[in-house]
Amino acid sequence: MAEGVAIFAEWAGDGLHPVSFELLSEARRLADELESKVKAFFPAPPGQESQAEALIRHGADEVLYASHPAFENFLDDAASRLLVKMIREDTPEIFLFPATARGQALAPRVAGYLRLGLTAHCIAFEIGKEDRTLIQIRPSFGENVMAKIISLTKPQMATVRPGVFPKAKEDPARRGEIKKFPVSDEDARSALKVLERRPKAAPKVDLSRAKVVVAGGRGLGTKEFFAKLFELAELLEGAVGATRPVCHLGWISEDHMIGVSGQTVSPRLYFGFGISGAVHHLVGIRNPGLMVAVNTDPEAPLMKKADVAVVGDVREVLPLLIRRLKELKGESHEA
C-alpha cells in the first residue's frame, strides 16, 4: 500500500540544497495531517551520512540514502531511473520535488517513466478531508486564477516553488531511520560526462533581503520614467523590483523580477507603481509589512490587496513622492 510523504532531498555538490528543508517542513505538515510519515529520497555520493542525519533532525522519519560515486555530479538520466526504482520499491503516497533546475529536470522524467500526473510549481497544498487526496495549488491561466489540481495517479507528484514554504526547524533530539538503498554501477550509468565545472556568479541583485522594495510595472509607461524608481529606492534605502513584462520590454534586467519566474521578497515596505497585481507577481511578495499601490484603476488586484491604495497617475504621484521625501531629507533640488 502506498504510504508516506516523500521528498527529493537535493544534493547540491557541497551539501543539501536549502530548499530540501523547505520541502521537509511542508511534507511534515502534510504527513501529520495524514497520520503518515515523511521520507527523504537522497541520491548522493558516499560519505554523506551526516546530511542524511540532518534530514532526520529537520523532520524526516526515514531517509533512503542511495549512495554512488557517480552522484557527485548531477546526472539526470541516471538519477531519474534510480528514483523510479526507489519509488517502485518504497511506494510513497505523495512525492514532492523542488522546482529547482535539478528538480525540474527529474520530475517530468520520473512522472513519464511511471506514467504519473505531475503538477508543476505548486505554492500551497491541502488534504482532501474525505479521500486523503493531495490538492495541489498553483497560479494558472495567465492571470488571477489559483488552480486546485488533483492527481488521479499515485504517488501524487508535484514540484514546489523554492522560497514558498518556511525551512523546517532543527530538532537535535529527533530520531529516524537511515536506510541504504543499494545502487549498482548499472543504476548509475549515464550518457552524460562532466568535462568541467564553473561556479555560477551570485545574482547581481538580491531582493530577498531588502527591507524596502520599490516595484514598477507596465503602467510606468517608458523605460526613462521607470528609471525614476531608482531615485525613490535610493531615498528609501530600498531595492527596485519589477514585473515580468517590463523586464521583457528591456526597461530593467530580469535580476529585478518579482514573482513566480523571479525572486521572492518579504520587505517591511512594498511599493507597487503601475502594477496590476497578477497572481504570478503576487506570489513573489511574502508577508510584506506595509503594501502601497499606485494605480489609475482602483479595481486592479494589487489595489484591492494593498494596505494603502492610491488612485492616481504614476506620472504625478511618483515625482511628488520623490520631491516630498527630498524635502523631508532637507535636499532642495527638484525631483
Ligand X SMILES: Cc1cc2nc3c(=O)[nH]c(=O)nc-3n(C[C@H](O)[C@H](O)[C@H](O)COP(=O)(O)OP(=O)(O)OC[C@H]3O[C@@H](n4cnc5c(N)ncnc54)[C@H](O)[C@@H]3O)c2cc1C
State which of residues 280, 288, 293, 306 lies at the interface with ligand X (CB under 6 A).
Answer: 280
Residue 241 within binding range of ligand X, rule CB under 6 A: no
Spell out, one character per residue from 7 to 36, where the chain touches ligand X: x when CB under 6 A holds, - when not: ------------------------------
> Which residues lie closer than 8 Å to 321 by C-beta, 6 or more apart?
232
Cα–Cα distance for residue pair 230/265, rounded to 1 Å: 17
Residues binding ligand X: number (CB under 6 A): 30
DSSP class of 166: P
Burial class (CB in 10 A: 0-12, 13-18, 19+), 45: middle
- Strand-pairing partners, residue 65, are 42, 180
Residue 313 within binding range of ligand X, rule CB under 6 A: yes
Across 54-87, b (16+ Cβ under 10 Å) vs e yields bbbbbbbbbbbbbbbebbebbbeebbbbbbbbbb
Residue 163 within binding range of ligand X, rule CB under 6 A: no
Alpha carbon distances (Å) from 266 to 164, 180, 211: 11, 39, 8
Spell out, one character per residue from 180 to 219, where the chain touches ligand X: x when CB under 6 A holds, - when not: -------------------------------------xxx
State which of residues 261, 268, 327, 331 lies at the interface with ligand X (CB under 6 A).
Answer: 261
State which of residues 171, 177, 297, 307 lies at the interface with ligand X (CB under 6 A).
Answer: 297
DSSP class of 285: B
- Which stretch, 12-20, 123-131, 177-185, 254-262, contacts ligand X (CB under 6 A)? 254-262
- In terms of CB distance, is 153 or 261 closer to ligand X? 261
Element (H, E) at 5: strand 5-8
> Segment 94-153, which members bind ligand X (CB under 6 A)?
142-143
- In terms of CB distance, is 137 or 178 closer to ligand X? 137
Alpha carbon distances (Å) from 275 to 19, 109, 302, 306: 29, 37, 7, 11
Return phi, psi of residue 275, to 5°.
-115, 130
CB of residue 204 to ligand X, shortest distance in Å: 17
CB of residue 239 to ligand X, shortest distance in Å: 15
State which of residues 246, 292, 306, 309 lies at the interface with ligand X (CB under 6 A).
Answer: 246
Residue 243 within binding range of ligand X, rule CB under 6 A: yes
Cα–Cα distance for residue pair 79/199, rounded to 1 Å: 22
- In terms of CB distance, is 68 or 280 closer to ligand X? 280
Cα–Cα distance for residue pair 191/76, rounded to 1 Å: 10
- In terms of CB distance, is 136 or 295 closer to ligand X? 295
CB of residue 216 to ligand X, shortest distance in Å: 8
- In terms of CB distance, is 75 or 314 closer to ligand X? 314
> Which residues lie closer than 8 Å to 72 by C-beta, 6 or more apart?
13, 45
- Which stretch, 59-67, 96-104, 238-246, 325-333, contacts ligand X (CB under 6 A)? 238-246
Task: Please report, as a single letter, which amino acid is at residue 196.
Answer: E
Binding site for ligand X (CB under 6 A): 142-143, 217-219, 243-246, 257-262, 274-276, 278, 280-281, 284, 294-297, 300, 313-315
